[in-house]
Structure formats: structure tokens, C-alpha cells
Amino acid sequence: MPANTRDILRRIKSVNNTKKITKAMEMVAASKMRRAVNMVLATRPYANLSWNTVLHLSQIKGTEFHPLLKKKDKYNKILLVLISSNRGLCGGYNVQIVNKATKSIKKHNDGIKKTEIITMGKRGAEMIVRQGYNVVSDFEKPDLATGIHEVRDLSNLVINGFLKEKYDKVMVAYTDFVSSIKQVPRVKQLLPIDLASDDEYLGIVGKDERVGLTKEFIKEKAEKYLKKEKHSFEYLFEPNDKEVLNQMIPRLIEVQLYQALLEANASEHSARMLSMRNATDAAGEMIEDLTLYYNKVRQASVTQEISEISAGAMAMNK
Amino acid sequence: MSKKINFEIVTPERTILKDKVESITIPTQKGQITVLSGHIPLIAILAPGEIIVKNEGKDKVYMAVSGGFVEVLVNKVVILADTAERAEEIDESRAQEAKERAEKLKEEKRGDAREFAALSAKIEKEMARLKVARRRRKI
């Protein structure tokens, strides 16, 4: 703590300036968050319904040979799409998602060189490169997504890589937006589309921790809408099953990636808003403490001066 | 009274309509179909066109759709549309303009097969929007 009053005043001023900045950043993050959250909530029904439809389709006899649904015995070459933020100052947001991603890579195979990573967002890219992972390409992440066309290139790259058997498995790591104070980092398997994949990799977007919920959902759907009328797994396809799957799955992958991006954006802005609010609160507290300290020091010097004067006066009177 | 179908139409941007209805007419690639209660499970690719939703005692709802998928389950119909609009949301003059612009471009881009196909698809979508918008005016 500085000893003289001038230094303390300077300190108070500087903390006050910082507080103003963090307050402004909080406001900016809050307005971005509002927009991002609106977008996320608007696309969720589509993403979830289409994901369910395709998961359901993947259960039907005769579709298991579609190249995008075909399961492999061994997963050697894995592609992971990592969505993080472009800027820092958002608490543990980036650290959490990178940790989650690396953990899941290690679970799959111990050779980190075998896993190829596509990054979206500068922060995560920097962190994952520093850890020695193999980053094959980097996409620019828009701060606020404007439409599904922003992930078109990425989804084409993913689908083509999978179809050419460059990858056995494609996963996406993003932060799921549960509420403005809770965001969960999540790794989800995109390809092959597989209902029976490990629980950890499942989960309908935006349904917090109830992982494995998709399975129940599908079962429920099958019972409620199909088995009851003895139509279990008997679908009519128009024009034919192959054509439907060919059109539907790429579209679905695109939507899933878009949804992941939107979830990540909403999470990022919420995380930033929260950490900025904490910073503003901390600055306020610090100003209070400093002001109290300043008053004490000032009072001490006043008391001292008075006692000196009165001592001087008494000496004169003697 | 016949059984009602749980009907839902969603686009990547929003949910357009979610209701219990009696019948739905949908444009698929192989032609228009009408789904009533008790239809067998079906998955089809949509063509640009109009969706008509009928409900007893209520006005029919007209919607323009540009493409997507429809999943029919027992007493449940889900439409995953690329874009969809209700008739009252369509601005007819703007749809007309967009269609004319696309037609003009199409004439210019005759050599480019990919552009040409994309523009043809666009014209088809705008036609569907126009059709739906005009139908509303007639009522």
C-alpha cells in the first residue's frame, strides 16, 4: 500500500478508470450475448429435429451401408473441429474447451499426431498448437454468425474428408450454452452418424448434462409414433432411400456445425459478460478499500500536524 | 371428427408453425401429396412450392417453402425446411422483382451451367412465393 495520500489518490483514479473499461466491455458483451442467445434458441428446434430424424434413419435396415453412416471397427484417424473464441478476457472459457478436447483425443488414441484438428477461433488455435497437436486448417470464426453459409466450407471439407476415408471419425468440440451463467464444454461425434456411440459423445444440443438423452428420445419416438401402429422401422422413402440420405446427411452436418458455432458464440459472450461483471465488482470493492485507507492516512497526518503545532505552542509559552 | 396430426414446420432460423391440424398438403419432388391422420411413415425431399394446412373451423394456412425434407410419422409430421414463409409475410412486389432479376440473370449466364442451375432453382423458389402471396390476395 502506498504511504502518502497523493499516491493513494492516484491509485484510486487508475482503478476507477479500469472499472469504467470493464463496465463498458460488460455492456458490449451483454448486447452481443442477447443477439447470440436469440439465434441459438431459434435454430435449436431445427437442429434437434433433424438430428433425431437422421439418427432414427440410421437405425433402419438397409441404410447402414450408406458411406456416411458406415461404422468402422477401429478409429485410427480422427478429425476434431475445435470451436473457441477469438479474444480473451472471458474467464476459463477457452481453457475448458481445449482441456475437454485434448482429454477426449487422449481417450481415443494416445498418439496425438494421428489426430488432425481444424480450429475455429484464434485462442483455441494458439493453445492447441502450443501443445503440439496437428492443426490442418484454421477457419475464421465470426463474432456473430449471420447465416448457415458461414460453415458451408467447413462442412464440405469435413464431409469430403470422411468420404475419401481420410478420417474414420469426425468430432466437434464446442461449448454448449445451457444458460447465461452456465456453459458446458462438450465433444460430439458428427460422423459416422451413430446412435450407439459412447454416451459422452452424444447429447442433443442445448439439453445440458442429460447426456444419453438422445437414445431415450429415439426410443420414445419409436414407441410412440411407430411401434404402436406396427410400422416399426418401416419407412417409405421418396424418391428413394439413397437419394434422401444423400441430400439429408450433408445438410444435417452443416446444421450441426452451425448450431455448434452458435452455441459457442452464445457461451463465449455470456462467459465474457460474467467475467467482466466480476472484474467491475472487484474494482468497486478495491476503490472502497482504498478510499477507507486514504481517509485513515489523511486523518493520521492531520492529527500529527495538530499535535506538532500544539507541542510547538506549548514550548513557546514556557 | 377425425384424429388430428401434430404438425411442426421449422427452418434453421425459426419455428414457423406448430399446431394440431387435420391435413397438410406438401410439394415433394415426385409431386404434391396430402397427409391425413394415419398416414404410414414417410420421408421425402421437398420441392419448392406451397404447403397448405387445413384445420376444421379455421382458415387454411398457406406457406411458401423453398426446399427441405418432410418426415411423416404416425400422427406426427415434421417439416425441416430450408426456408419457409407464411403467406402474410411475403411481400408480393419484392418477390416479383426478385423473380424478374433472377430471370434476367439467367439469360445472361446461359453459358455457365452451375450458375444457370442455381438461378433456375431461385426462379422456382420465387415462383412458389409469388403463388402463395397471390393466393392470399384472392381470399
> Given CB atoms, is B41 within the 8 Å cutoff of chain A?
yes
Of B40, B43, B75, the CB nearest to A244: B43
Q: Check residue B38 and report its DSSP letter.
A: T
Least confident of A103-112, B21-30, B122-131: A103-112
Of B11, B30, B73, the CB nearest to A239: B30
Q: Point out the residues of chain A with pLDDT beneath 50.
A: 198-214, 227-231
Q: How confident is the model at residue B67 (pLDDT cuts 50, 70, 90)?
A: confident
| B67 neighbourhood in chain A, CB within 8 Å | none
Q: With an 8 Å Cβ cutoff, are A49 and B78 in contact?
A: yes
> Higher model confidence: residue A175 or residue B138?
A175
Encode A228-250: b = buried (16+ Cβ within 10 Å), e = exposed.
eeebeeebebbeebeebbeebbb
Identify the pLDDT of residue A97: 92
Q: List pLDDT tens digits, range A242-275.
A: 788 888 888 888 888 898 999 999 999 999 999 9
How far apart, in whole angstroms, are the C-alpha atoms of residue A197 and residue A190?
A: 10
Q: List pLDDT tens digits, range A133-180.
A: 888 889 988 888 887 888 888 988 988 888 888 888 888 899 988 888
Domain coordinates of chain A in residue numbers? 33-271
User: What average pLDDT does range B118-129 have in this prediction?
Assistant: 82
Identify the pLDDT of residue A285: 96
- B5-87 topology per CATH: ATP Synthase; domain 1 (2.60.15)
Instruction: Identify the residue whose cell numbers are 473441429.
Output: A81
Q: What is the pTM of this model?
A: 0.82
Active site residues of A: 90
| A151 neighbourhood in chain B, CB within 8 Å | none
Identify the pLDDT of residue A19: 96
Domain coordinates of chain B in residue numbers? 5-87, 91-138
How far apart, in whole angstroms, are the C-alpha atoms of residue A108 and residue A95?
A: 20
Identify the pLDDT of residue A222: 53
**Encoded amino acid at A233, one letter:** F
> Given CB atoms, is A234 within the 8 Å cutoff of chain B?
yes
Beta-strand relationship, B76-81 and A134-139: unpaired
- A33-271 topology per CATH: Pyruvate Kinase; Chain: A, domain 1 (3.40.1380)
Identify the pLDDT of residue B100: 85
Identify the pLDDT of residue B109: 77
Of A50, A221, A236, the CB nearest to B42: A236
Identify the pLDDT of residue A24: 95
